[in-house]
């Protein structure tokens, strides 16, 4: 979270400051990408990029605090995600020739990066094993930092239903972890 600086950074970004916009972007994009990787694994980066295009266009007219900003960002991302889902239903993509793992291009430090972020990757993998709605609710609550009412509005459900979904998701997560007998 940007915190107390948020209002100043937002105003500067709305005034045309690219650096201020970059501060907002760096703060929010990792959470956005993680959320999208859990709910739409294969197109997360594309949808995140589309989301930012949309956000940049609406930035001059945005008003609100950091919580509202994140709610707006994730709502926009969710809409882009739904658009993508609809589009892919209408125009299903055909897979290209299979490329083996060994043939995939890799950066030199890919292994190191992967080791550094193993915990995060594994956490996201665990979350993606939950039912879709439970995973989404937990991601929005934990990553986006949105409260129950805002999440309920985003998903078109009652706050009670959102709370129940989150609790069920956490319980299931606890069950998964105890069953696997693993620690992070």
Nearer to other proteins, 98 or 149 (CB): 149
CB of 153 to other proteins, least distance (A): 4
Name the nearest CA neighbour of 154 among 49, 83, 72.
Answer: 72
CA 178 to chain centre: 26
Task: Output the smallest distance, CB 98 to other proteins, in A.
Answer: 23
Nearer to other proteins, 98 or 180 (CB): 180
Q: Is 93 helix (H, G, I), strand (E, B) or coil?
A: coil
DSSP state string for 104-135: S---TTHHHHHHHTHHHHHHHHHHTTS-HHHH
Closest approach, Cβ 40 to other proteins, in A, equals: 15
- What are the tokens at 62? 């945005």
């Amino acid at each position: 979270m940007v915190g107390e600086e948020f209002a100043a950074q937002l105003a500067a970004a709305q005034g045309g400051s690219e650096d201020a916009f970059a501060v907002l972007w760096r703060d929010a994009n990792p959470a956005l990408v993680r959320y999208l990787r859990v709910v739409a694994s294969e197109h997360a980066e594309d949808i995140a990029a589309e989301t930012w295009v949309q956000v940049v266009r609406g930035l001059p007219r945005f008003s609100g605090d950091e919580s509202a900003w994140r709610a707006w960002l994730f709502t926009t991302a969710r809409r882009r995600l739904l658009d993508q889902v609809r589009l892919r239903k209408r125009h299903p993509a055909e897979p290209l020739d299979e490329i083996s793992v060994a043939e995939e291009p890799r950066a030199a430090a890919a292994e190191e990066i992967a080791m550094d972020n193993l915990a995060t990757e594994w956490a996201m993998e665990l979350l993606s094993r939950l039912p879709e709605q439970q995973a989404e609710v937990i991601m929005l609550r934990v990553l986006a930092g949105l409260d129950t009412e805002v999440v309920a509005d985003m998903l078109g459900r009652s706050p009670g239903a959102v709370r129940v979904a989150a609790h069920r998701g956490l319980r299931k997560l606890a069950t998964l972890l105890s069953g696997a007998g693993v620690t992070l």
